[in-house]
């Protein structure tokens, strides 16, 4: 963060010594009202959704409210972002539930302490990542992979809530096991539960479409509780209720479990670290750029780490930076992390005095809120957009395969597949770059995909290698040069390599470049390198490429390279 000259001396000292409150100070009095409004708006969404996220995480409903208290205060204390909102998150909740559930099949009592421990471990991993300045890792998770991952998570969550929407038995292992059991019990569907669920879903969707400033989840939550109380839905229609939540603030306790189970959480903590970096840092940077705010990605990792440690030590589950909550807070006019402080203040009386009202909240209503969350997670519009991208469908295939893998096999393996698919797509793209040959027709230049018989002019080939040259794609250089030289309609006099993308050259690729040069020279041609980045020239000197082609074979532009060709130079 860059400190501005107008900061109060006390704020500057606090930030300089301890790095605290960077998301709040310097604070201006005129920001109070916008921050209070934004915090209240955020609470109207975060509190009901927190109950839903707790359900996704497999935790008691009150733990969803806990995520709106200690974690958000700790994040506001340690982060640098003025805009990023954090809290319970569907993707990380689903990952947590899947990993902990797999470890506690034989000991369900260990589920809650292991979930808290996973939040604590994730927090420690985030602190370490901040210390090692690993915020840049967010660049390695592409938006297409993230869209596919979230779509798969949304499908899993939606399918897992169908039995609650219908009021039937869905007890089974795994999402698809629940679906099978739900289908088997369709004949026992309760009309009252379906009616409640449809009313909640319709309320949230219609308000979101026609009155987006009204918090649909809060209206649906309050409305369903009023209906549960006024119509006695439990007594008259056998609608299952969530039940009164424990009253009071979360208690500090250090989670502990069997060491073998604890060791089993380490890979999941690593996966959650990647998800947090990918989602939180990208959201923080996007809103910082939008508002011209100073921010430090690694400092935000400290804030996320502190928030997750607080969540684990105070009986809750993993929290994450939320693009949706950040957008809601921003639309509400938030100027700083003081909006998150307002959220925590509003959560206090709910935990202290209002937990009894959840005795009138139908399970079907809570399931419907979760179902809508799942719908918003599904990025089908993004997938359609990727499908129609011109040129290639690599990103689309990666996104769809990630969505299918997550939906079928679960989020645990799904995120690993997403990482593998992203790396594989990147390697495929860089190892098979769209190289081209320049041709000129009617005074207009064209980049033509490599094909037999292509030439720029009789005896002249201008060839562009369209990626950084390294060991994985260097064979492509040799293949292309051999094909173009062997199939040229006229003997090649000058072969020009447009090397503008060659920012680094390793040993393997230098040998490939040497072999390509020999192919041209053996055919009687002159090999010329144009537009070579300045930092690459000493590397080619070291590998002997310069000695092979001569100093005069390096030129600044393709047009200058044509001086080696015995026809007039052309633009």
Same domain, yes or no: 277 and 226: yes
Task: Indicate the Cα dihedral angle 423, 424, 427, 433, nearest 10°.
Answer: -130
pLDDT in tens, 256-282: 888 888 899 999 998 899 888 877 877
In a domain, 301, yes or no: yes
pLDDT of 158 > 60? The answer is: yes
Question: Of the residues 423, 454, 482, which one is the last residue of a structural domain?
Answer: 423
Q: Who's near 34: CB < 8 A, 6+ residues apart?
A: 332, 333, 334, 335
DSSP 171-228: --SSHHHHHHHHHHTGGG--HHHHHHHHHHHHHHHHHHHH-TTS-HHHHHHHHHHHHH
Looking at the structure, tell me whether residues 169 and 303 fall in a common domain.
Answer: yes
- 1 exposure class (CB count in 10 Å sphere: 0-12, 13-18, 19+): middle
What Å distances lie between residue 391 and 239, 325, 386, 388, 395, CA to CA?
53, 35, 11, 9, 11
* Gap between the Cα atoms of 395 and 398, Å rounded: 5
| pLDDT-derived band at 138, boundaries 50, 70, 90 | low
Binned at pLDDT 50, 70 and 90, residue 411 comes out as: low
Query: Which whole number is the average pLDDT over 484-496?
Result: 94
- pTM value? 0.74
Question: Which of 423, 448, 472 is the last residue in one of the domains?
Answer: 423
**115, 250: one domain:** yes
Q: Are residues 219 and 75 in the same domain?
A: yes
Do 514 and 408 lie in one domain? The reply is no
State the Cα–Cα distance between residues 121 and 115, nearest whole angstrom.
Answer: 10
Do 417 and 446 fall into the same domain?
no
Residues 516 and 379 in one domain: no
Please indicate, yes or no, if residue 164 is contained in any of the structural domains: yes
Residue 79 lies in a domain: yes
| pLDDT tens figures, 162-204 | 999 999 988 776 677 888 999 999 999 999 999 999 999 999 9
Of 423, 450, 485, the last residue of a domain is 423
Is residue 569 predicted with pLDDT exceeding 50? Answer: no
Q: Would 539 be classed as within a structural domain?
A: yes
Range of 69's domain?
29-423
Assigned domain for 19 exists? no
Residue 558, CA atoms < 13 Å, CB-side half-sphere: 18
User: Do residue 388 and residue 523 come from a single domain?
Assistant: no
More confident residue, 286 or 310: 310
Domain annotation covers residue 570: no
Which region holds residue 50: left if phi is over 0, alpha if psi is between -120 and 50, else beta?
A: alpha
Same domain, 376 and 498: no
Bridge partners of 447?
Answer: 438
Return d(Cα 559, Cα 242) in angstroms, integer: 75
418 with 451, same domain: the answer is no
Domain annotation covers residue 3: no
- The pLDDT mean for the chain works out to 87
Domain count, the chain: 2
pLDDT band, residue 10 (cuts 50/70/90): very low
Q: CATH number of the domain that 507 lies in? A: 3.30.750.24
Indicate if 493 and 410 belong to the same structural domain. Answer: no
Does residue 14 surpass a pLDDT of 70? Answer: no
Tell me what percent of the residues of the chain surpass a pLDDT of 70.
92
Which tokens belong to 215? 């918090």
Residue 2 lies in a domain: no
- Whether the per-residue pLDDT at 484 is higher than 50: the answer is yes
Look at residues 332, 329, 270 and name the one whose alpha carbon lies nearest to residue 129: 270
Q: Within 13 Å and on the Cβ side, how many CA atoms surround 212?
A: 5
Strands (E) across 79-143 are located at 86-88
Assess whether 126 and 186 both reside in one domain. yes
pLDDT digits (tens, 9 = 90+) for 416-469: 787 777 777 777 777 788 899 998 777 778 889 999 999 999 999 999 999 899
């Amino acid at each position: 963060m860059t400190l501005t000259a107008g900061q109060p001396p006390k704020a500057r000292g606090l930030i300089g010594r301890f790095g605290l409150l960077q998301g709040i100070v310097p604070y201006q009095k005129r920001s109070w009202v916008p921050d209070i409004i934004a915090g209240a708006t955020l609470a109207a969404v975060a509190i009901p959704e927190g109950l839903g996220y707790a359900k996704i995480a497999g935790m008691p409903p009150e733990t969803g409210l806990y995520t709106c208290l200690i974690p958000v205060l700790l994040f506001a204390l340690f982060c640098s972002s003025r805009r990023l909102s954090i809290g319970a998150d569907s993707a990380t909740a689903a990952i947590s539930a899947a990993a902990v559930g797999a470890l506690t099949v034989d000991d369900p009592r260990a589920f809650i302490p292991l979930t808290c421990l996973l939040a604590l471990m994730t927090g420690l991993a985030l602190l370490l990542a901040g210390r090692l300045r690993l915020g840049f890792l967010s660049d390695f998770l592409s938006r297409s992979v993230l869209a596919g991952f979230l779509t798969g998570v949304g499908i899993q969550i939606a399918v897992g809530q169908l039995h609650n929407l219908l009021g039937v038995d869905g007890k089974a292992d795994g999402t698809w096991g629940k679906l099978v059991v739900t289908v088997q019990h369709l004949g026992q569907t309760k009309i009252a539960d379906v009616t409640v669920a449809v009313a909640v879903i319709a309320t949230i969707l219609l308000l979101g479409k026609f009155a987006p400033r009204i918090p649909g989840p809060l209206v649906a939550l309050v409305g369903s509780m009023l209906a549960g109380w006024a119509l006695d839905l439990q007594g008259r229609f056998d609608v299952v209720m969530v039940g009164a939540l424990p009253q009071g603030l979360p208690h500090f306790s250090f989670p502990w479990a069997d060491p073998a189970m604890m060791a089993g959480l380490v890979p999941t903590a690593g996966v959650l670290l990647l998800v947090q970096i990918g989602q939180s840092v990208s959201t923080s940077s996007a809103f910082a750029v939008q508002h011209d705010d100073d921010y430090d990605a690694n400092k935000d990792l400290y804030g996320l780490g502190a928030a997750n440690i607080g969540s684990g030590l105070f009986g809750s589950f993993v929290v994450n930076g939320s693009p949706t909550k950040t957008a809601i807070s921003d639309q509400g006019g938030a100027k700083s992390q003081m909006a998150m402080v307002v959220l925590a203040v509003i959560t206090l009386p709910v935990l202290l005095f209002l937990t009894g009202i959840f005795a009138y909240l139908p399970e079907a209503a809570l399931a419907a809120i979760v179902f809508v969350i799942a719908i918003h997670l599904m990025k089908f519009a993004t997938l359609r957009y990727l499908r129609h991208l011109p040129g290639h469908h690599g990103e689309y295939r990666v996104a769809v395969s990630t969505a299918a893998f997550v939906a079928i096999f679960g989020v645990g393996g799904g995120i690993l597949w997403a990482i593998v698919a992203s790396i594989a797509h990147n390697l495929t793209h860089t190892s098979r770059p769209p190289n081209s040959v320049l041709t000129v027709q009617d005074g207009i230049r064209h980049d033509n995909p490599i094909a037999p018989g292509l030439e720029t002019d009789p005896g002249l080939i201008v060839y562009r290698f369209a990626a950084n040259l390294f060991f994985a794609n260097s064979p492509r250089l040799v293949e292309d040069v051999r094909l173009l030289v062997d199939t040229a309609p006229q003997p090649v006099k000058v072969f020009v390599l447009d090397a503008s993308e060659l920012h680094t050259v390793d040993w393997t690729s230098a040998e490939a470049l040497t072999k390509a040069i020999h192919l041209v020279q053996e055919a009687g041609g002159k090999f010329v390198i144009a537009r070579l980045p300045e930092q690459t020239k000493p590397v080619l000197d070291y590998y002997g490429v310069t000695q092979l082609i001569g100093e005069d074979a390096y030129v600044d532009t393709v047009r200058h390279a044509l001086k080696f060709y015995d026809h007039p130079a052309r633009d």
